[in-house]
Chains A and B, each alone.
Chain A
Amino acid sequence: MSHMIKCETNMTDRKTLLSALDKLGIPQDAIVCSDTTSETIKLRGYNRQTADAEIIIKRDVYHKGYGDVGFVKNPSGTYSCIVDDMDDVGSLARKAGLTNSPEGSRATFSKSVNQWYSALTAQKALRRQGLSTKIKQQEAKLVVVATG
């Protein structure tokens, strides 16, 4: 039988997360990071509200939404996306060329970041095993294909 192993994916590595944002076409100059992974910087939300984040996509440089979009590391060591309640990141999703889905723009954006994160992680692991890889974009997912 062919394998069929399903696993949950978690974003834990900052460098890979930044590569995933790059794959989504978010320009380097729109992204600000804390100096180290143990520090945070201030994300600006709607009406000058702030929140702590480790990676920030600046609204005024890129997506012109209600506020910045950021990523913060949870106590469990996994990154999650933070965004002001006033902004469903529709502006960011549109700017990144992601089609709106019934689940909403915020979910679409997070899902796309997670897809690229997993694909790049899988690619890295497979290359370390000496395999050649290609990432194919299909309608609702990314597929990493590896040959010997």
Chain B
Amino acid sequence: MRIASITTGSYVNGPGKRNVLHVQGCTIGCPGCFNKHTWPSSGGTDVCERVVVHALIQDSPDGITISGGEPMEQWESVSEVIRLVLTEKPELTVLMFTGWTKEHLERSGHLAEMSQISAVVSGPYVEKLACSEPLRGSSNQEIIFLDGRLDNDSLVLLPIVEVHCDGETATITGFPDKSIRQSLMKEL
């Protein structure tokens, strides 16, 4: 599968400590998208699913989060990663972001295949509806709770943004608004 990155120990991409997979490749192309570098399917790195699984379960996370890029454009690989992660660590919750709407997920039949996922944040990013709420980039996006292990209450106190300082680089992740984003980019 094609991936952009794996970030370990995140607290902003769902409840608890989470390891986050950003897949590479997205053809939706939402105007104002802040992850444009994850659009080209030729970018990122080609990695086998088992390697991704190994990285996603390291350091005892409470759950994993799948973002992108567009996970539904690699659904076969993504669903295999989820299956393997939950085979190894059934206690983990799985949260996934997709630019597909709930209706699109239902029509394609994929929503019915997501019974092992705890929550899906669905819908494209709409710049004029941008918001700074936990897990949502814009207010049109809908959170679909699926396996009964996460609910709205578990998302209330989530942070807005976090910065991972590795040494020579820093990775900004989460849901900062334009002003927060610009301030961090200017200072770092």
Determine the distance from Cα of A136 to Cα of B164 in the docked complex, in whole angstroms. 10
Chain B contacts of A3 at CB under 8 A? 34-35, 161, 172-176, 181
A9 to chain B: which residues have CB within 8 Å?
165, 167-170, 188
Which of chain B's residues have a CB closer than 8 A to the CB of A142? 164-165
Interface residues of A in 94-148 (CB under 8 A from B): 110-112, 114-116, 118-119, 121-122, 124-126, 128-129, 131, 136, 138-148
| Closest chain B CB from A109 CB (angstroms) | 11
Tell me the bound Cα distance from A4 to B159 in angstroms.
Answer: 15
A6 interface hit (Cβ, 8 Å): yes
Q: CB distance B11 to A122 under 8 Å?
A: no
Shortest distance from the beta carbon of A91 to any chain B beta carbon, whole Å:
21
CB of B179 within 8 Å of the partner chain: yes
Q: How far, in whole Å, are A6 and B171 apart by their CA atoms in the complex?
A: 4
- State whether the Cβ of B113 lies closer than 8 Å to any Cβ in chain A: no
By secondary structure, the B interface counts as mixed
B5 contacts the other chain (Cβ, under 8 Å)?
Answer: yes
Q: Is B118 an interface residue (CB 8 A)?
A: no
Count class of interface residues, chain B: 35 or more
Q: How far is the CA of A125 from the CA of B125 in the complex (A)?
A: 25
Q: Is the CB of B159 within 8 A of A125?
A: no
Closest A residue to B13 by beta carbon equals A2
A7 close to B179 (CB less than 8 A): no
Is B129 interfacial (CB 8 A cutoff)?
no
Interface of A is mostly: mixed
Contact B11 A143 (CB under 8 A): yes
- Check B175–A6 contact: CB distance below 8 A: no
* Interface: A8 (CB within 8 A): yes
A-B CB pair tally, cutoff 8 Å: 150
When A114-B167, A122-B163, A126-B180 are in contact, do A4 and B35 touch as well, CB less than 8 Å?
yes
Q: Which residues does chain B contribute within 8 Å of A5, judged by CB atoms?
A: 34-35, 171-173, 181, 185
Is the Cβ of A119 less than 8 Å from the Cβ of B163?
Answer: yes
Whether A115 contacts B166 by the Cβ 8 Å rule is yes
A125 CB contacts on chain B under 8 angstroms: 183-184, 186-188
Structural contact, B59 and A139, CB atoms closer than 8 A? yes
Q: Is the CB of B97 within 8 A of A140?
A: no
CB-CB contacts below 8 Å: A1-52 with B: 1-9
Distance A139 CA – B63 CA, assembled complex (angstroms): 18
A128 to B187, CA, bound (A): 11
- A6 and B170: CB pair below 8 A? yes
Given contacts A115-B166, A125-B184, A141-B165, contact A4 B99 (CB under 8 A): no
13 contacts between A and B (CB under 8 A): A1-B35, A1-B99, A2-B97, A2-B135, A3-B174, A4-B5, A6-B169, A6-B172, A125-B186, A138-B8, A141-B166, A142-B165, A143-B164
Chain A residues packing against B (C-beta within 8 Å): 1-9, 110-112, 114-116, 118-119, 121-122, 124-126, 128-129, 131, 136, 138-148
5 new A-B contacts at CB < 8 Å, known A4-B4, A143-B163: A4-B5, A7-B171, A128-B183, A138-B9, A144-B163
